[in-house]
Amino acid sequence: MHRQKASPHIERALAPSRLHIISSRLTEELLKSLQKIDSTSPRLSLTNFVHRTLYTSGSIALLGPDYPVHTYENFMIFDEGVGLHSRQLGAFAKAGKVARESVLVDLKRHLVEQWVPENGGHLAGAVDMMSDIYREVKQTDLSHDEVHRLMLGILWSIHGNIMELTTWVLCHVITDKDTYTRVCQEIRSFAKQQFPQIDGITRMDPRLLDEAFPFLNSLVQEVGRTKAAFGQMRVANRDAVILDEGGKEILIRKGEMVAINLPGMNHSPRLQEDPEVFKADRFLNRASQRSYLFGAGKHICPGRNYANFAVRQFIILTLAMYDIRVQSDAVTGTGSLPEQDGTMGLKLMLFSRVRNDLSITLHPASTSASHVE
């Protein structure tokens, strides 16, 4: 119930008309992180590259330059164990619980130190949204510890699925030559025309991304459609009867938890044409396709605009600045698309994780670099 009080603040702060406030901060931090990369470095883990960059940049953009980004490793262990803990799987969740408590200590210290009580109170260096949420929950009947656990939950909900979706989008880009070429051409031609200096992109209105990058937008939607691994949980607000595929009646009583089968909807031939086929350009004609990437209806994800922006902006900046070369797989001899981790339903993650990571190298952007060695 207390977490629901954060939703209006998130919805308001991340509405399309106000998204530029936080999007410009995120873009600035992403640029800083990407510009620090040594292109002469040996191979990088693609997953670690994406996750660390987004966690560091996103946390600073949201909570200020003094946010303890050294919490990254423990945050990822916590992220891995969230579902196991929620399902009370004891020993399997122990590492995640220990990591969560470590992150919580540092987050609590940061929020307490950055809180300025004058004029209603705000978090120094943080975006207004995070200050508003923190102020709101501090005024509830939650204990000091519960307030900060709630803030950690909100931070996790912002970061977790963005990191996984971005990882999968980049995997699809760099393991398919045609997709790689098409995305790079779209990004680099736009950047060349509009932003001769890459830092100029920080001033771009995020609402222009749909128009400027139609193929990338379609690719993100298609990756989300095919990599969704867990249904969204809802509570029935009244008794209802639904029919299964065989016409049998199923009674759902008020108050019962209902899991929406998101993967099933995404792969239903009634909703999608050739649902088992990955089509990067499937959503170029949005009128003919339905997307449930961030849910739907009254309880659609309040952070959907930020998440959609963060995923695309990471891809845009990375490919505007670098060519990515995938190191050949020892078995297949190619940079193959990773397999999906099939345990994400158990772990309550919206998107599946990559089972076998890719090894990559980054090189200054050119027009001829190959993406697979």
Which pTM does this prediction carry?
Answer: 0.87
Concatenating the DSSP letter of every residue in 300-353 gives --TTHHHHHHHHHHHHHHHHHHEEEEEPPPTTTSS-PPPPBPTTHHHHT-SBPP
Residue 267: band (very low, low, confident or very high) from pLDDT cuts 50, 70, 90: confident
**Residue 370 confidence (pLDDT):** 46
Looking at residue 141, its pLDDT comes to 86
pLDDT at 266: 79
pLDDT of residue 367: 57
Q: Tell me the pLDDT of the chain averaged across its residues.
A: 83
pLDDT class for 100, splitting at 50, 70, 90?
very high
Q: Tell me the mean pLDDT in the region 58-87.
A: 85
What are residue 258's DSSP bridge partners?
234
Tell me, what's the pLDDT at 112?
97
Indicate if the pLDDT at residue 95 is higher than 60: yes
Lowest mean pLDDT among 18-22, 57-61, 81-85: 81-85
Residue range 320-326: average pLDDT?
Answer: 92
Distance, CA of 320 to CA of 259 (rounded, Å): 40
Going by pLDDT thresholds of 50, 70 and 90, the confidence category of residue 286 is low
Instruction: Using a pLDDT cut of 70, give the percent of the chain over it.
Output: 82
- pLDDT tens per residue, range 9-49: 677 767 777 788 888 999 999 999 999 887 677 789 999 99
**Diameter of the chain by CA atoms?**
62
CA 347/CA 349 separation, integer angstroms = 6
